């Protein structure tokens, strides 16, 4: 019976800590992603063809590296640049990798062609100076992109060399590969699997996928936005999209936090019940220990030790399962969702995990206060009268 | 002197359980307390074993006055000098026979400090084997008969080679064979001259084996 109760407390502790660890890492990662996205700037506005939103959400475009075959005439760049109130523009051309041997990546991700001479977005994330432009075989790699660990690889059947890994941004930059816009246009034009796009939209040399821009200060954003949209394109405001995504996540987090708190409360009550019964049900055993020479301090060490072992085992299991659960949830949010998300640095993770464990050890400490008082009242002489405890 | 009680009295509330009891016991000696039920045999054993503090009188264990000792000092004396064989065996249900025997070592680390865990376990095995329990070492109490449990309890009482053995009705509910085994184990320690035996019984035949009989 004792073993079953003890295992139940360990499991409850483990489940609660699992929930808290996974929540901490997810929420912390999201917060960091949002903070980084804000801190490192980026364009205020992303302009994409109107039809892009038929199969891609704003968040997909802003925060993931999913392939985005959306195209519009490159003349749109100049038209938008000439709108009053637009401070600066940068054009991007989207290609994509193929899940074939032509590419080092294992799945289809976005390749973004950039015009380095007009770029103010990618540079801050790269340790490599790109203002002189990228060479035809040079690429920049987002933090979450794999397949280029050796420093080189292939894209659409051509060898490329990694000149820099971008710092984490919490946005689509983390999940994409960047190269010279003209070189990318050449590569996609020669890729048979992408030919149907050019049959639809025309030669890639005359296309762009997205235009990033900032407003001039003091201008009314909604007026400029209306003027841009009048060109027949879709305007995605980054700050709004970030806020929407954050709000969604916060709701999910709040629900999970309530569930986690209920679990924590259940753990606390279980601790109190378990540790109280630990002494109450084993009063005879404790009295026997006293009769055999145990001091009150010895018994307190026994009770405290059991509490420590139960809590420690639960905490260890909870932390391990929590980290594994986080990995699963991380992959899920990366692949199936579109949130600004950046993994927390190890020391932050360690600090958070330690803090959660400390809270549970405090729970255990609170729960053994009463049992320790009971020990003080135990009379060793009762062992002479009590019936057999075995 | 191993044990000396002088004018010991004990009140429980308004009721006087014991009054003016005196006795003495040295190593190599045995003392039987004989009395009908409810007269205070167990109370007297509890006082001798430092489980109870007398209302009046002195108790000396191994030449140490215990009247002014605090709880820790009394616990230390119990752990190092006294072995208890309780009327009900008081084995711990969640521990195997061999683990029950080792329990006193947890609270008297000085008694076994020179022994490794393996050596302690070997010693416990030897104790149980000497009492005919070599095939019951790893059984839980609920898997043992009354006689076997009493023998395990006897092994526990003698495990640390205590100077004073206190046994409360050691042969209660036992058949002749088990009773003989337990009594023989207790008196063997006394005959070795290393320990004194204080026991309560209502069996005259057993009491007669003691050097001294105290009637209450």
- A100 against A319, higher pLDDT: A319
CB atoms within 10 A of CB A134: 27
Q: What is the pLDDT of residue A20?
A: 83
Question: A292 vs B79: CB contact, 8 Å cut-off?
Answer: yes
Question: B141 vs A390: CB contact, 8 Å cut-off?
Answer: yes
DSSP B107-167: H-HHHHTTS-HHHHHHHHHHHHHHTT-TT-TT--GGGS-HHHHHHHHHHHHHTT--SEEEE
- A120 against A73, higher pLDDT: A73
The total number of residues written for chain B in this structure: 216
DSSP B48-111: HTTSS--SEEEEEETTEE-TT--HHHHHHHHHHHEEEE-SS----TTS-HHHHHHHHHHH-HHH
Q: What is the pLDDT of residue A65?
A: 58
Spatial strand order of the sheet with A233-237 comes to A152-155, A158-165, A138-141, A177-180, A110-114, A86-96, A210-215, A45-49, A233-237
Q: What percent of chain A has pLDDT over 90?
A: 15
Taking alpha carbons only, the member of B207, B36, B12 closest to residue A381 is B12
Q: What is the pLDDT of residue A37?
A: 62
Q: Give mean pLDDT, residues A19-41.
A: 73
- Per-residue confidence band for B198, with pLDDT thresholds at 50, 70 and 90: very high
Structural tokens at position A120: 């103010």
- Per-residue confidence band for A334, with pLDDT thresholds at 50, 70 and 90: low
Question: A293 vs B71: CB contact, 8 Å cut-off?
Answer: no
Question: A390 vs B168: CB contact, 8 Å cut-off?
Answer: no
- Per-residue confidence band for B202, with pLDDT thresholds at 50, 70 and 90: confident
pLDDT, tens digit (0-9, with 9 covering 90-100), for A121-160: 777 777 777 777 888 889 998 888 888 888 888 888 889 9
Mean pLDDT of chain A, nearest integer = 82
- Per-residue confidence band for A40, with pLDDT thresholds at 50, 70 and 90: low
B160 touches chain A (CB under 8 A): no
- Per-residue confidence band for B126, with pLDDT thresholds at 50, 70 and 90: very high
pLDDT, tens digit (0-9, with 9 covering 90-100), for A252-289: 778 877 877 887 788 788 778 877 776 777 888 888 99
B91 touches chain A (CB under 8 A): yes
Q: What is the pLDDT of residue B125?
A: 95
Q: What percent of chain B has pLDDT over 70?
A: 100
Set of chain A residues whose Cβ sits within 8 Å of the Cβ of B40:
none
pLDDT, tens digit (0-9, with 9 covering 90-100), for A169-180: 666 777 889 999
pLDDT, tens digit (0-9, with 9 covering 90-100), for A231-240: 888 888 776 6
Q: What is the pLDDT of residue A341?
A: 67
B88 touches chain A (CB under 8 A): yes
Q: What is the pLDDT of residue A387?
A: 62
At residue A117, the 3 state secondary structure works out as helix
Mean pLDDT of chain B, nearest integer = 91
Minimal Cα–Cα distance from B212 to chain A, Å? 23
Q: What is the pLDDT of residue B168?
A: 93
pLDDT, tens digit (0-9, with 9 covering 90-100), for A198-211: 998 899 999 999 89
Question: A384 vs B42: CB contact, 8 Å cut-off?
Answer: yes
Q: What is the pLDDT of residue B140?
A: 94
Q: For the purposes of burial, counting CB atoms within 10 Å of the CB of A36, is it exposed (0-12), middle (13-18) or buried (19 or more)?
A: buried
Question: A292 vs B141: CB contact, 8 Å cut-off?
Answer: no
B168 touches chain A (CB under 8 A): yes
Question: A293 vs B168: CB contact, 8 Å cut-off?
Answer: no
CATH topology of domain B26-51+71-215: Rossmann fold (3.40.50)
Question: A295 vs B76: CB contact, 8 Å cut-off?
Answer: yes
Q: What is the pLDDT of residue A23?
A: 80
- For chain B, the structural domain boundaries read 26-51+71-215
H or E element, residue B11? strand B3-12
- Torsion sign across C-alpha atoms A285, A290, A296, A300: negative
Q: Is it the case that residue B58 has pLDDT exceeding 60? A: yes
Of B42, B79, B90, Cβ closest to residue A288: B90
Of B45, B49, B93, Cβ closest to residue A389: B93
Q: Give mean pLDDT, residues A6-30.
A: 83
Rounded Cα distance, A109 and B115, in Å = 67
pLDDT, tens digit (0-9, with 9 covering 90-100), for B72-115: 999 999 999 999 999 888 999 889 999 999 999 988 877 777 78
At residue A262, the 3 state secondary structure works out as helix
Question: B80 vs A293: CB contact, 8 Å cut-off?
Answer: yes
pLDDT, tens digit (0-9, with 9 covering 90-100), for A76-124: 999 999 999 888 888 999 888 877 777 887 778 888 998 877 777 777 7
Set of chain A residues whose Cβ sits within 8 Å of the Cβ of B93:
389-390
Mean pLDDT is lowest, of A319-328, B119-128, B185-194, for A319-328
- Per-residue confidence band for A327, with pLDDT thresholds at 50, 70 and 90: confident
Q: What is the pLDDT of residue B162?
A: 94
Answer yes or no: are the C-beta atoms of A170 and A40 closer than 8 Å. no
Q: Is it the case that residue B124 has pLDDT exceeding 70? A: yes
Highest mean pLDDT of the ranges A62-66, A360-364, A379-383, B167-171: B167-171
Q: Is it the case that residue B12 has pLDDT exceeding 90? A: no
- A248 against A18, higher pLDDT: A18
Of A289, A292, A296, Cβ closest to residue B71: A296
Set of chain B residues whose Cβ sits within 8 Å of the Cβ of A292:
78-79, 84, 103-104, 107
Question: B104 vs A292: CB contact, 8 Å cut-off?
Answer: yes
Q: What is the pLDDT of residue A41?
A: 52
Q: How many Cβ pairs within 8 Å bridge chains A and B?
A: 84
Q: What is the pLDDT of residue B183?
A: 94
């Amino acid at each position: 019976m004792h073993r079953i109760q003890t295992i139940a407390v360990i499991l409850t502790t483990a489940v609660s800590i699992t929930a808290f660890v996974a929540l901490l890492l997810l929420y912390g990662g999201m917060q960091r992603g949002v903070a980084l996205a804000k801190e490192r700037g980026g364009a205020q506005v992303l302009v994409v063809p109107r039809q892009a939103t038929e199969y891609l959400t704003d968040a997909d475009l802003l925060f993931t590296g999913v392939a985005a075959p959306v195209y519009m005439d490159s003349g749109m760049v100049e038209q938008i640049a000439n709108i009053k109130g637009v401070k600066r523009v940068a054009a991007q051309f989207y290609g994509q990798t193929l899940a074939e041997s032509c590419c080092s990546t294992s799945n289809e991700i976005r390749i973004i062609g950039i015009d380095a001479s007009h770029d103010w977005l990618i540079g801050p994330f790269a340790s490599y100076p790109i203002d002189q432009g990228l060479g035809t075989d040079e690429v920049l790699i987002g933090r979450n992109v794999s397949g280029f660990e050796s420093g080189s690889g292939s894209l659409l059947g051509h060898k490329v060399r990694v000149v820099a890994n971008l710092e984490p941004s919490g946005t689509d930059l983390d999940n994409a590969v960047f190269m010279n816009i003209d070189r990318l246009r050449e590569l996609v034009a020669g890729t048979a699997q992408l030919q149907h796009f050019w049959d639809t939209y025309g030669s890639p040399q005359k296309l762009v996928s997205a235009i990033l821009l900032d407003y001039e200060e003091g201008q009314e954003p909604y007026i400029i936005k209306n003027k841009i949209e009048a060109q027949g394109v879709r305007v995605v405001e980054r700050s709004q999209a970030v806020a929407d995504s954050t709000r969604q996540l916060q709701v999910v987090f709040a629900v999970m936090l309530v569930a986690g708190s209920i679990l924590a409360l259940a753990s606390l009550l279980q601790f109190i019940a378990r540790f109280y019964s630990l002494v109450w049900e084993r009063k005879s055993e404790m009295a026997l220990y006293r009769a055999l020479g145990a001091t009150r301090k010895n018994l307190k060490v026994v009770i405290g030790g059991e509490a420590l072992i139960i809590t420690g085992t639960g905490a260890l299991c909870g932390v391990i399962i929590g980290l594994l659960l986080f990995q699963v949830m991380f992959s899920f949010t990366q692949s199936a969702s579109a949130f600004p998300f950046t993994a927390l640095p190890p020391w932050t993770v360690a600090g958070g995990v330690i803090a959660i464990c400390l809270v549970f050890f405090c729970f255990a400490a609170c729960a053994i206060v009463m049992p320790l008082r009971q020990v003080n009242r135990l009379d060793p002489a009762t062992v002479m009268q009590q019936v057999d405890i075995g | 002197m191993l044990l000396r009680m002088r004018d010991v009295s004990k009140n429980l509330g308004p009721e006087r359980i014991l009054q003016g009891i005196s006795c003495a016991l040295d190593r190599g000696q045995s003392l039987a307390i004989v009395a009908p039920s409810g007269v205070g045999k167990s109370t007297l054993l509890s006082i001798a074993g430092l489980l109870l503090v007398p209302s009046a009188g002195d108790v000396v264990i191994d030449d140490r006055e215990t009247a002014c000792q605090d709880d820790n000092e009394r616990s230390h004396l119990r752990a190092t000098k006294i072995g208890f064989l309780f009327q009900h065996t008081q084995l711990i249900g969640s521990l195997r026979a061999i683990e029950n025997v080792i329990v006193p070592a947890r609270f008297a680390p000085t008694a076994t400090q020179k022994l490794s865990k393996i050596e302690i376990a070997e010693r416990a095995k030897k104790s149980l084997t000497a009492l005919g329990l070599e095939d019951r070492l790893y059984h839980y109490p609920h898997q043992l008969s009354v006689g076997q449990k009493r023998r395990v309890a006897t092994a526990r009482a003698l495990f640390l080679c205590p100077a004073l053995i206190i046994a409360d009705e050691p042969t209660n509910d036992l058949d002749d064979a088990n009773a003989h085994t337990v009594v023989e184990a207790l008196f063997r320690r006394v005959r070795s001259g290393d320990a004194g035996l204080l026991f309560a019984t209502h069996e005259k035949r057993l009491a007669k084996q003691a050097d001294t009989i105290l009637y209450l």
